[in-house]
Amino acid sequence: MPRPPRISRPAVLDEALRTLDEEGIGALSMRRLAQRLGVTSPSLYKYVRDREGVFDAVVDAIVQEINEGWSPTGSWRAELDGLARRYFRTFRRHPNAVPLVMHRPTRNQRSLDSFDTVLSVLTEAGWPVQDAARAVLLTESYALGATLTAVSPGIPFTSEELANRPTLAAALTGEHSTFRLTEDDFEHGLKLVLDGIAREIAPEGRRLERAQGGTER
């Protein structure tokens, strides 16, 4: 009876994501991946074409995780709120994936489908498509920036460094002792972003402004 393979494509991709999480994008090579799996590098080419193929597969896994369990709600605010939360949740688990995802062209089919769906929810609610795109991009940008700030090392300060910086010393107390974004900060910031979108971009916000005598932007 033939021996079962020591590895499989899912095993390779799982290990690739673990390598990225634990060692960073610089370690995501065919050689390092083979070492971690306990196989030779040539054996990997049956499952991934090359390092770029590994990158593509990892991005696909991240996008799948972002969209796991998601279905459209029909509400523009719920869609943007959910998008931000899914990004924040997923990239906090995989912070080393942010540059990998952001520095590659968006050709992932799941990603394209999800963007199309979110934009459709907004346009079907009466949004001009360019306003919908702006709202999605603003929300995505906030979520990614918030994630990077939340997972950053913060400020590794010493008492000597803060001795002549009293305002900074006062700020680096309590929940902001390391000057990193907290869950509460994320929630507060997301509300500000969505409130701003509702007021400045959403069709209902513009209608209200016109009714109050404002000018069309």
Comparing 153-157, 163-167, 172-176, 183-187, which segment has the lowest mean pLDDT?
153-157
Q: Is the pLDDT of residue 108 over 80?
A: no
Q: Residue holding tokens 């021996």?
A: 3
Residue scoring higher pLDDT (100 or 33) = 33
**The pLDDT value given to residue 156:** 77
Q: Please provide the DSSP assignment of 59-75 as one string.
A: HHHHHHHHTTT----S-
Mean pLDDT rounded to a whole number for the chain = 88
As a whole number, mean pLDDT of residues 198-217 equals 70
Helix (H, G, I), strand (E, B) or coil at 5: coil
The band of 213, judged by pLDDT with boundaries at 50, 70 and 90, is low
String of b and e for 18-28 (b: at least 16 CB within 10 Å)?
ebbeeeebeeb
How does pLDDT run across 35-89, given as a tens digit for each residue? Answer: 999 999 999 999 999 999 899 889 888 988 998 888 888 899 999 999 999 999 9
The band of 102, judged by pLDDT with boundaries at 50, 70 and 90, is confident
Q: Please tell me the distance from the alpha carbon of residue 150 to that of residue 92, in angstroms, as a whole number.
A: 8
**The pLDDT value given to residue 143:** 96
**The pLDDT value given to residue 110:** 82
The band of 139, judged by pLDDT with boundaries at 50, 70 and 90, is very high
Q: Please tell me the distance from the alpha carbon of residue 131 to that of residue 122, in angstroms, as a whole number.
A: 9
Q: Please tell me the distance from the alpha carbon of residue 34 to that of residue 12, in angstroms, as a whole number.
A: 9
pTM: 0.83
Cα 108 to Cα 12, 51, 137: the distances in Å are: 19, 17, 17
